[in-house]
Amino acid sequence: MKDYTASVGFDRRLYRQDIAGSIAHARMLARCGIIADGEAEAIVKGLEEIRTEIEEGRFPWKVELEDIHMNVEARLRERIGPVAGKLHTARSRNDQIALDMRLYTKEVIEEALRGIKGLQRALLDAAEANKGAVMPGYTHLQRAQPVLLAHHLLAYFHMLQRDAERLRDCFRRTDVLPLGSGALAGVPYPIDRETVARELGFSRISENSMDAVSDRDFFVEFHAAAAVCMMHLSRLAEELVLWSSSEFGFVTLDEAYTGGSSIMPQKRNPDFAELARGKTGRVYGHLMGLLTVLKGLPLTYTGDLQEDKEGFFDTVDTLLSTLEVFAGMIRTMKAHADRMRRAAMESYILATDVADYLVRKGVPFREAHGTVRELSRYAQEQGRYLHELTLEEYQRFSGKFEADVFDISLESSIAARDVPGGTAPKRVEEALRAARRLLGEAP
């Protein structure tokens, strides 16, 4: 039965936050005259020694003590005697765990932001290294219009930028000190919450004690931001799986990020990308799990809230490791510009440009669209591409076609998209510089 209710198996990873919060609390109690200075000094010294024990693997964890808080407090009593009992003055495990989780979440948000920035930098480096590479852009996974590979990679840069913005917004609402709320109603001691907030790096204190001990919105927000970020990474993973296949051949992933087959020696499977795609579902599940835990809870604290941590820790581990893996995978990836270009050429990818050609000759777009649809169908029936047709064949479908129709090329198509956010080389150069500025790396 003790195993069923114990959380120390997973919440022990909060030891740094728990001890930091206890040290700040003890110092505040002494400043406010609630405990003696010497007592606070003994408590702080004992807590620092316990932190060292944990980091050196010498701490005697006990399941029967249930959680991180009681394990630390019991060990403190063993080290300094009954004075350890004064540490819990003006505090409850309810506001203590809320503090620990907010401290932890702030730290992992900052770590996730560093991971996002690392992947963004890898994407920019890959884009700049392959600035001239032309590839097919797709809709419905069908070749649609030519784009620059750099333009395609920048799309993921901007997805990640939104992820970073969501996490920064989550940080702002996480950055609230709950300590001092007690079990639910506040505490009957003259405490100084503002000083504790400053010492622990919080920008403000909570405004309602009942809300402070039961609020897990910041957990939900982190889960949601992580789920969206993993969705973006999963989309990139899917493209890497496709692009590295023999059917596409657009990229080769470094062997460090592929796996072999137990019976087929030639295989280089995109295992890391596939695993990221699969792990995304776990993060989604943890978000839904937490929302389900919270949906029927009355104020304030209930034991259900113990179920908020395991999924959260797994989401954190999954997101941070995936960001790190993807930065390495993109940085070591080799792009095959010749194969991308051939895929663009061996298609009807310039059909839209041919329709636009007719529009410039005065043909209404809908009529031009129909004409080129029939022209493309004819070329497909002949087993040829548009650039392989003769002028006479073009003119069977419209007398507006002249010899300059053959000036249409992959390069002219890309250059024509010279609008803000477009794939024209000049616009992509501007976008790369703007992206570097967002990272604080302006040239």
**Catalytic residue IDs:** 140, 261
Question: Is the bond leading into 258 cis (omega within 30 degrees of zero)?
Answer: no
- Encode 27-64: b = buried (16+ Cβ within 10 Å), e = exposed: bbbbeeebbeeebbebbbebbeebbeebeeeebeeeee
Give the integer Cα–Cα distance in Å for 245 and 91: 58
Cβ atoms 177, 99 nearer than 8 A: yes
Tell me the CA end-to-end span of the chain in Å, nearest whole number.
62
Interatomic CA distance for residues 314 and 321, integer angstroms: 11
Rounded Cα gap, residues 260 and 336, in angstroms: 22
How many angstroms separate the CA atoms of 318 and 276, rounded?
Answer: 9
